[in-house]
A = this chain, B = another copy of it.
Amino acid sequence: MVYWKRFQILVREMFMGVTIYDVAKLAGVGIGTVSRVLNNSPQVSEATRQKVLAAIEELNYHPSPIAKRLSLRRTFTIGVITPFFTRPAFIGRLRGVEAALTESEYDLVLYNVETTDKRDACFRELPISQRFDGLLLIALPPTDEDVAHFRQAGIPVVLVDAYHPALSHVVIDDVKGGYVATKHLIELGHARIAYISDPLESPFRFTSSLHRYQGYRQALDEAGIPFRAEYHCWAEHGEEQARDMARRLLDLDEPPTAIFAASDTQAIGAMEAIRERGLRIPQDVALVGYDDIEVSRYLGLTTVRQPFFESGVKGVEVLLQAIDHSPDEPLRIELPIELIRRRSTLGDAVPPEHR
Q: Which A residues fall within an 8 A CB radius of B?
A: 17, 60, 62-67, 69-70, 75, 77, 85-86, 88, 91-92, 94-95, 98-99, 102, 107-112, 118, 128-131, 239-240, 243, 294-295, 298
Given contacts A91-B85, A95-B85, A110-B98, contact A62 B129 (CB under 8 A): yes
Of the candidates A60, A75, A130, the one having the most CB atoms from chain B within 10 angstroms of its own CB is A130
Given contacts A77-B109, A294-B86, contact A131 B95 (CB under 8 A): no
Determine if B98 and A131 form an interchain contact, defined as CB atoms under 8 angstroms apart. no
Select one of B67, B108, B130, B240 contacting A65, CB under 8 A: B130
Complex CA distance for A88 and B131, rounded to whole angstroms: 30
Given contacts A91-B85, A108-B109, A112-B95, contact A128 B62 (CB under 8 A): yes
Complex CA distance for A49 and B111, rounded to whole angstroms: 33
Determine if B295 and A129 form an interchain contact, defined as CB atoms under 8 angstroms apart. no
Given A66-B66, A66-B75, A85-B94, 4 other A-B contacts at CB below 8 A? A85-B95, A91-B91, A95-B112, A243-B298
User: What are 16 inter-chain pairs, A to B, with CB distance below 8 A?
Assistant: A65-B129, A65-B130, A66-B66, A67-B70, A85-B91, A85-B95, A86-B88, A86-B95, A86-B294, A91-B91, A99-B112, A102-B111, A107-B109, A107-B131, A109-B110, A240-B298
Determine if A70 and B66 form an interchain contact, defined as CB atoms under 8 angstroms apart. yes
Determine if A98 and B112 form an interchain contact, defined as CB atoms under 8 angstroms apart. yes
Determine if B109 and A109 form an interchain contact, defined as CB atoms under 8 angstroms apart. yes
Residues in B with CB closer than 8 Å to A130 are: 17, 62-66
Residues in B with CB closer than 8 Å to A110 are: 98, 108-110
- Give the Cβ gap from A34 to chain B, nearest Cβ, in Å: 16
CB nearest neighbor in B for A80: B110
Residues in B with CB closer than 8 Å to A95 are: 85-86, 112
- Give the Cβ gap from A14 to chain B, nearest Cβ, in Å: 10
Complex CA distance for A112 and B94, rounded to whole angstroms: 10
Select one of B63, B99, B102, B239 contacting A295, CB under 8 A: B239
- Give the Cβ gap from A132 to chain B, nearest Cβ, in Å: 10
Residues in B with CB closer than 8 Å to A92 are: 86
Residues in B with CB closer than 8 Å to A77 are: 107, 109
Given contacts A110-B110, A111-B98, A239-B295, contact A131 B65 (CB under 8 A): yes
- Give the Cβ gap from A195 to chain B, nearest Cβ, in Å: 22
Select one of B67, B129, B239, B298 contacting A298, CB under 8 A: B239
Of the candidates A66, A130, A295, the one having the most CB atoms from chain B within 10 angstroms of its own CB is A66
Complex CA distance for A69 and B102, rounded to whole angstroms: 23
Residues in B with CB closer than 8 Å to A129 are: 62, 65
- Give the Cβ gap from A155 to chain B, nearest Cβ, in Å: 12
Residues in B with CB closer than 8 Å to A65 are: 129-131
Residues in B with CB closer than 8 Å to A66 are: 66, 69-70, 75, 130-131
